[in-house]
Amino acid sequence: MLRLPAFQLLRPATVAEATRMLAELGPEAAPLAGGTDLLPKMKRRQLQPRYLVSLRGLRELRGWSGSPEQGLVLRAGCTLAEVAAQPAVRSAYRALAQAVAVCSNPILHRMGTLGGNLCLDTRCNYYDQTEHWREAVGWCMKAPGPHSPQEVPCRVAPGGGRCWAVSAGDGAPALIALGAKVRLVGARGERVLPLEDLYRDDGIRYLDKSPDELVVEVLLPPADGLRSTYRKVRRRGSLDFAALGVAAAVRQDPDGTVASCRLVLGGVASRPLVLEEAASLVVGRRLEGEVLEQVSQAVHRAVHPMDNTDFTVLYRRRTAPVHVRRALEALAS
Amino acid sequence: MERVVRLRVNGQEHRVLVPPHRTLLEVLREDLGLVGTKHGCELGECGICTVLVDGEPALSCLLLAQELEGHEVTTVEGLATDGQLHPVQQAFVDSGALQCGYCTPAMVLVTKALLDRVPEPSGEQVREAVAGVFCRCTGYVKILEAVQAAARRLRETGRPSGCGS
């Protein structure tokens, strides 16, 4: 039996109490929501917090409000199944509905939360292994075992001086494409920031927030004619993380001319990759023929995956433009 | 910190002394002797340890026993009544929907949860419902047949599939 290491379980009654606990306990504490990412990582000793602050009982983190016309607020404790079933998400924010529907599998949908999905740990073939496996290869920078991170190289790019673990969540690319913001609450107050600014291009410090800050809400802007879609490449039709995630959102004039476009990839970098150049190419034009070819070329130039997830690097680099193109074609028709 | 937790399993209340890091799977198998719930990857990937929490499938390897007070847990042992197999179990037997049998408790429970919600599921709904449980013998065709056979049986007999809980 693969068992959890010992820890103390704290059960705050409010978000304010949770953030106070996290601030007082510092880096030795971790928030526990659905547990579908954190607990397996603790069993494999990738993460070993001494305190878990359970968010499961916090009513403040449940439910949603608003509408596609006013903008939708999804609280972070919603399960992925609740988000996927939410009528406004299904009708007006399709990329999000599709992304959470293909995230993991139906059992984990009911356990995992929206906030947990956005804070998903980065992934790597050298990191997501048992303790014995990682010890046998000499550990890695992200989980250096008995060493300090400076003493152990990244096993993917040993000379690079940084960790290349990959952001593989499905919710983040979709929500960034939809223009979502997040509300963070910490012991010293709260702030709202565009979701893309939550992420850093670093496999170890992949979230730009302090340990006591919790993602409490996702704020979606009014849908206002936005059409969106999400595609996912993975080995199996269930469970697997994204080897590639593609989120696309466009606003079109009645004649099909694109007024605005957002393209975001998951599974190719340490943070969701916003494709600004590729997206700008379609603005003022229709989603067809030569434009899509130019987009494909721009995507190919922008995507540089490392050899640390499922599938070969060559396949992942070549498949990204194909799936961006298919996403845009789906939105054009 | 260890504490006494009141767990409601298959309609019976149990008082168990558990530390925070003990999972529901460990408590079911090792404290309560309910070894019908199998352990597979124990990392939330294979679905073999599925139980029902308040009627919905959940992975017992990723649930902390201390967090389950006030919830109703159903394991495969809770399905049969008076020595009579639950119609879903009987359908699995009649359809030969098992090879090694290791995933069967989980398959039976996700089927029960599906049919409680959707008495007449489409093929797609059935495939989605069992997508979280891996059968490594790959005997999926018989399993899908068993789910539809169970659905027919429950509709014909009108027997509520919520028995045993």
Hey, are the CB atoms on B44 and A36 less than 8 Å from each other?
yes
B62:A39 CB<8 A? yes
* Overall number of domains in chain A: 1
Tokens of A49: 């917090």
Quick one: which of A105, A98, A93 has its CA closest to A218?
A93
Rounded to 10°, the helix B104-117/B87-95 angle is: 120
B37 touches chain A (CB under 8 A): no
Torsion B23-B25-B28-B31 (CA) sign: negative
- How many H helices and E strands in chain B? 5, 5
Is the pLDDT at B163 greater than 60? The verdict is no
Q: Which of B43, B56, B110 sits opposite A40 (nearest CB)?
A: B43
Say yes or no: B126 contacts chain A, CB-CB below 8 A.
no
Q: Which pLDDT belongs to residue A149?
A: 86
Q: What is the mean pLDDT of chain B?
A: 94
Residue B12 pLDDT > 90: yes
Residue A259: φ, ψ to 5° = -90, -35
Which of B1, B39, B131 is nearest residue A238 as measured by Cβ atoms? B131
In this complex, is the C-beta atom of B40 within 8 Å of any C-beta atom belonging to chain A? no
What CATH number does residue A310 fall under? 3.30.390.50
Q: Inform me whether the pLDDT recorded for B164 exceeds 50.
A: no
Nearest-Cα residue of chain B relative to residue A51:
B20
In the Cβ-directed half-sphere of B84, how many Cα atoms lie within 13 Å? 8
Where along chain B do its domains lie? 3-78, 87-157
- Whether B133 and B103 have beta carbons less than 8 Å apart is answered as yes
- Mutation pick from A3, A36, A105 vs chain B, by most beta carbons of B within 10 Å, is A105
- Half-sphere exposure (Cβ direction) of B136: Cα atoms closer than 13 Å: 8
pLDDT average per 10 residues of sequence, chain A (333 residues): 96 98 97 98 97 96 97 98 96 97 93 98 97 96 93 93 96 98 97 98 97 98 97 92 97 95 98 98 95 97 96 96 98 88
The model's pLDDT over B58-96, given as tens digits with 9 standing for 90+, comes to 999 999 999 999 999 999 999 999 999 999 999 999 999
- Residues in contact with A313: Cβ distance below 8 Å, sequence separation at least 6, in sequence order: A305, A306, A307
Q: Name the E strands within A36-180.
A: 51-54, 64-67, 71-75
Q: Tokens 């009579």: give the residue.
A: B84
Residue A17: how many other CB atoms lie within 10 Å: 14
Q: Which of A7, A238, A239 has the CB atom closest to B20's CB atom?
A: A7
The answer to whether the CB atoms of A43 and B43 lie below 8 A apart is yes
B66 CB neighbours in chain A (<8 A) are: 9
Contacting residues of B for A1, CB less than 8 Å apart: 26, 39, 42
Q: What is the C-alpha separation between A133 and A188, in angstroms, rounded?
A: 40
Contact A9, A202 (CB under 8 A): no
Distance to chain A for B3, nearest Cα, Å: 11
Q: For the domain made up of B87-157, give the CATH fold.
A: DNA polymerase; domain 1 (1.10.150)
CB spacing of A107 vs B20 below 8 angstroms: no
- Note the ipTM here: 0.94
Whether the predicted pLDDT of B161 surpasses 70: no
Domain of A235, in residue numbers: 1-143+161-333
| Chain B CA closest to residue A55 | B67
Residue showing tokens 């879903």: B88
Contact (Cβ atoms closer than 8 angstroms) between residue B54 and residue B109: no
DSSP summary character for residue B32: S
A151 within some domain: no
**Quick one: which H or E segment has residue A266?**
strand A258-266
pLDDT of B157 reads: 84
Lowest-confidence pick of A298-302, B46-50, B121-125, B156-160: B156-160
Amino acid at A296: S
**B118 inside 8 A of chain A by CB:** no
Which two three-digit tokens encode residue A192?
A: 């709202």
Q: Tell me the pairing of strands A227-233 and A244-252.
A: antiparallel
Cβ <8 Å between B57 and A4: no
Q: Name which of B24, B37, B43, B48 to mutate to probe chain A: the one with the most chain A Cβ atoms within 10 A of its Cβ.
A: B43
Which residues in chain A are contacts of B110 at CB distance < 8 A?
Answer: 107
- Strands (E) across A126-252 are located at 181-186, 189-194, 214-220, 227-233, 244-252
**A13–chain B nearest CA distance, Å:** 14
Give the A:B interface size as CB pairs under 8 Å.
74
How far apart are the CA of A284 and the nearest CA of chain B, in angstroms? 40
What is residue B159's predicted lDDT score, i.e. its pLDDT? 62
Closest approach of B94 to chain A, Cα-based (Å): 26
Length of chain A as a residue count: 333
**Pairwise CA distance, residues B75 & B79, whole Å:** 7
- How far, rounded to the nearest angstrom, does the alpha carbon of residue B4 sit from its chain's CA centroid? 25
Using a CB–CB cut-off of 8 Å, the residues of A that contact B are: 1-9, 35-36, 39-40, 43-44, 52, 54, 56, 105-108, 110-111, 237-239
The answer to whether B129 and A238 have CB atoms below 8 angstroms apart is no
Q: Residue A18 — φ and ψ, nearest 5°?
A: -60, -45
Helix (H) or strand (E) holding B142: helix B140-157
Quote the radius of gyration of chain A (alpha carbons, Å). 20
Q: What is the dihedral of CA A97, A102, A103, A106, to 10 degrees?
A: 100
Q: Which residues contact A122 (CB under 8 A, 6 or more apart)?
A: A142, A163, A165, A166, A167, A168, A203, A204, A206, A270
Q: What is the CATH architecture of B3-78?
A: Roll (3.10)
Whether B43 sits inside 8 A of A9 (CB atoms) is no
